[in-house]
A and B are shown apart, each in its own frame.
Chain A
Amino acid sequence: MVVPVAYYLVLSAILFSIGVGAFLIRRNIITVFMSIELMLNAVNLTFVAFAHQWHRVSGQIFVFFVMVVAAAEAAVGLAIIISIFRARETLNVDNVNLMKL
């Protein structure tokens, strides 16, 4: 009972793409932000899969760092969302289009 590493990779690709798709579909800024988190998680899976493939720890270390980065981004991102909510009273991305052309 073995699973090829490639399956993990495909799984991560699917998750990544769903993340991209969610970014395109969802209107709520927070959900959009969550879809980015999903993409990062998909990449993390790739890292772990390759770490397993190469038997190298550094792949897993990468995931730690990505977690840190994601946390930092979450803090900043949510702060930005709060600030835009204060300025615009909306969380709909479609309404955030003051600047165009």
Chain B
Amino acid sequence: MLNETTLTLTILFPAAAALVVALLPSRGRVIQWFTLIASLIFFLLTLQFPAHFTYGQQGFQFEVNRDWIASPNIRYHIGLDGISLWLVALTGFLAPLGVLASWKAIDHHAKEFYFLFLLQQTAMVGVFVALDMFLYYAFWELTLVPMAILIAMFGRERGVQAALKFFVYTFLPSALLLVAILFLYARTGTFDFVQLQAMVSHGGSLFSERALYWAALGFLVAFAVKVPVFPLHGWLGDTFSEAPTAMAMVVAGKLGLYSILRFNLGLFPVQARQLAPWMIALAVIGILYGALVALVQRDMKRLAAYATLSGLSFCVLGIFCFAVSGVDGALYQTINEGIIGGALLILLGILYERYGTYEIAAYGGLAAHMPLFATLFVIVSLALIGLPMLNGFVGEFLILSGSFAGHTGWVAAATVGVILSAAYMLSLVQKVFYGGQSEMVREQPRPDLNFRENVTVWSMAVLMLVMGLASPVWTRAIDGAVVKLVQPASQAAIPCVLGPTPCVAVQQ
């Protein structure tokens, strides 16, 4: 049932579906239904991998390694491990939801939209599974294109500017990434991730320290923009406020964070540790900065953007503290952010469909008209601010607790973000849903969620709860890969492993 072509099939399926979409007639909702079914099949395909994953096995699984281009030595090498496993599934999960979220919102040029939407799925899965640097870079760049075009086509007011900003912001640093990749190739003659890993760690004569440092920095900058990390987040606000929901859901976070884990930690463990102090500082600044700025936003989408910045900075913090639990948590939180942020954006999109504005001040007392919507919004907000039993908490807790021992001061500062997140999210909830009804809400009563919207958001809400309660289902695979990742150069004391008698490291 699960042979080696499944992974290839998973990558190519959305692209193939996109071609079919291009040929379908734009009549009625044919395209929507087709894309929905295709994305559901895609989701099922991505679920194959967790179902057949062999735990405890080192290295990559479902691997395919074929010749592609003889010279330069580029291979079609793909595979999955614990790091990418659930990210692929997450991509699959968000695909049908993205279709559902766009059902009504995309009221013109559905064909173009769904064509690019499906292409985007291929690109994202490709990023997660590519094990050849060339292939990886190709997918990485490819993710930008549907995004930029869709922002331009479906932007609210300043779509074109936002699209340009997004593209240039992310495209320019990937030039540095390409330089770094080419540099590695020049020295080793291979683009293969596995071979590179071995050569970088053992080939002392191949590289000078400085060169490796710069190469690692090149990788990191490109990824940091995509995450985004604090001073590089300039594109996020505009992109969030202009992009169609289905695209904004997937634009930030997972791609960049995955890449940092896979390449900065996997390929350059030593350099990653040299860069870590900077990244930790930026992450903590990002957490607090994002939260504080979110506190004073007047536009919901911008608030969501800064909240995302804050939330993703937690992941960055976790990654660069190099504690097993912390990195586990960072990856787990990456998945969580995908779901929570996605749900938040879908909800905002639903609101926009009804009232046509993201201006917070225009709303008020909405809960009376739309109780179900309000309920879901509160659940999502709670997940976002890390309420225990919901998924956000597990991730945040693992990140902070894991990293605390090594970087007490920074992590303590980061924990303040927990307070601030509650402040801005609950303020939003209060201003929009509670209190007296605003003029707009009073005069334009709008229906509560319909069946489609209910299905969309409830499925995410339930997943938030399940992920908050049964995290080992996910962290098991993650942990297996992360231990290997963190181990090589981790001299810093990891908090003691659990045993019958707790081992104790008393400081002072």
Given a CB threshold of 8 Å, the question of whether A touches B is answered with no
Chain B residues near A (Cβ < 8 Å)? none
Chain A residues near B (Cβ < 8 Å)? none
